[in-house]
Amino acid sequence: MITNYVLRLQPLLRRSLSIMTTLPATSTLPSMAAATTAATSPLSSTHQESADNGKVPHVPIPLRGADYRGKVVLAPMVRSGELPSRLLALHYGADLVWGPETVDRSMIGTTQKTNPRTGCLEWSRVSNNKQHTNADQAPRESIIFRIDPKRESEKLIYQIGTASPDLAVQSASLVAPYVKGIDVNAGCPKPFSTGGGMGAALLRTPDRLCDILRALIRDVGTPNEIGISVKIRLLETPEMTSELVNKLCKTGITGLTIHCRTTPMRPRERAIRQQLHMIADICRSHGVACLMNGDVASREEGVRLAEEFGVDGAMIATAAEANSSVFRRQEEGGLAPWREVVHEYMKYALSVENKFGNTKFLLSQLMPGKDASYQRVTMSKSYVQVLKALDLTDPGMVKHAEEIDHILELDAQKVTKRDVKRENKQQNRERHEKKPQRKRGLERVDDAQSRPGSQERSRKQKAEIAAENADFDGVGQGTMAVAA
C-alpha cells in the first residue's frame, strides 16, 4: 500500500519541482543601487533582463523617451523650476529634470523663436499687463517657457497643467519635439491650478484624467516617440488610492510619480509612506515606472528609500530648492557650500538671460538669511549690483552682467512703486499746503462782494459776459438779455 501511495505521489512531486526551478532565485524587485551605478543607461541590466524574460510586465519606452527607473530627479516647482535652476540641478548630477507646471492655455498661441544670443528656444506672447507698457513703446513680450536644447533637452520632462484632452494635446505638441517626456500635473493643491479643474482637482475626476492621458499618448507621445506620465497625490484611503493608480496605469503611461501627501497637506507636514509598497506593486504589475516624492533630502536618501519601499526612483523638491548639490554623489563631493552653489547659479542665470525677479527669488532660497550679503542681494536692482553684493569680482562675469542688464533694461532709470508712492505723497503735501491760501482767497472775494456797490459791479460783469455770449453790441442790451 505504501509503495502504491509513493508511486502515485511521484508525478505530483516532479511537477512541483519543475515549477520551483522556473522561479527566480532572487526577488524581481529592481535594485536601486545597481541602477544608480548605470545612471547614464536608459535601462539598468536588472530591468532589461526582467523585461526580456517576460517575468515582469514592462511598458515599452519610446525611442526618444526616458525611463524613470533608477533615477533621482528634480521635481516640478513654480519659480524654482525655471531654466537656470534646471541647468544647476543637472550640473550637480540630477538624472532628469522636470520643468514647472505650465498651463495649457498659456502656451497655445505663443510664438516660438530661438534667442540668437543664448541659443535657447523661447515660447512668448505679447504681455497684456498694461502696467509694464507705455503708449510710446512697442508691447513687451512675455516668455512663457524656454528650453536650452544643447544642455537639457535630453533630460527634460515638460509638465503641463490641464483639464482638457484637446487643450493638453495642443499645448504639449508645441514642445514635444524638444523634450524627453510629457508629465500631467494631477497633484498641485494651489487654487490657481485646482480652480480651473487642473492639478489635484483631477484626482476627483479620474475619468477625465484618463482621457487626457490617452489623448496625449495617442496624439503627442506616439508621433514624437516620447513617454507620457502623471504625478498624483495620495487619496483619503489606501483603497481609493489603489483604485486610482490601477486605472491610471491601464492608460498606457510609462511613469507615475506619487507625492506622499494628501491634497490638504502642506509641505511642512511629514510625508506619508505607508502606501508606497502597495503603489509600487500596482505600478510594477502594469509595467509602469514608479517614482516617490516627499521629504527626500539627498540622492543617497532617495536611493535608500526607493530600495526600502520598492519604488523605481525618487524625486527631490524642497531640498534641491535650498541647495541643488543634493544630487551630487558622496564620492563626487556630496553637498557643496552655499557660496559655490550660488556662484554656479549666477553663471547659468546670466548665460540664459534669466528674468531678474526670478533670479533674486532663487538666490533668496539658496542663501542663508543671516548672512550679511543676503540683505544686500535683496536690495539689488541689477545683475551688476548682485555680483557686487556677493563679492563676485571676475572681470568677465561682471562684463557679462553689464551686457545682460542692458538687454533686460535693468540699467535704465525706472519708476518703481516706491517712486510713485513718494511722488503721490509729495503732491498730497503740496495740495494740503495750498488749501489755506485758497481759503484766504475765497474769503477776500466774499469781503469784496459784501461792500457797497459790489452787487452793481457784479451785475454789470454778468451783463458783459451775456453780451459776449449772445453777440450783443451794448451793455444795456446784454442787461436786458440777462433780465429776460
By annotation, the residues acting in catalysis are: 188
Beta-sheet pairing, 156-161 with 141-147: unpaired
Percent helix / strand / coil, the chain, rounded to 5: 55, 15, 35
Measured between alpha carbons, how far is 363 from 346 in angstroms, rounded to an integer? Answer: 9
Q: What angle do CA 151, 153, 156 make, to 5 degrees?
A: 110
470: three-class secondary structure by DSSP? helix
Calculate the dihedral angle through the C-alpha atoms of 96, 99, 100, 104, rounding to the nearest 10 degrees. -130
Q: Are 296 and 316 in contact (CB under 8 A)?
A: yes
- The closest alpha carbon to 181, from 56, 279, 96, belongs to 96
DSSP label at 217?
I
Measured between alpha carbons, how far is 100 from 79 in angstroms, rounded to an integer? Answer: 7
The upper half-sphere exposure of residue 308, i.e. CA atoms within 13 Å in the direction of its Cβ, equals 11
DSSP label at 269?
S
Measured between alpha carbons, how far is 180 from 43 in angstroms, rounded to an integer? Answer: 15
- The closest alpha carbon to 176, from 136, 213, 224, 246, belongs to 224
Q: Are 183 and 213 in contact (CB under 8 A)?
A: no
For 269, residues 6+ apart whose C-beta sits below 8 A from its C-beta are 261
Residue 156, amino acid: L
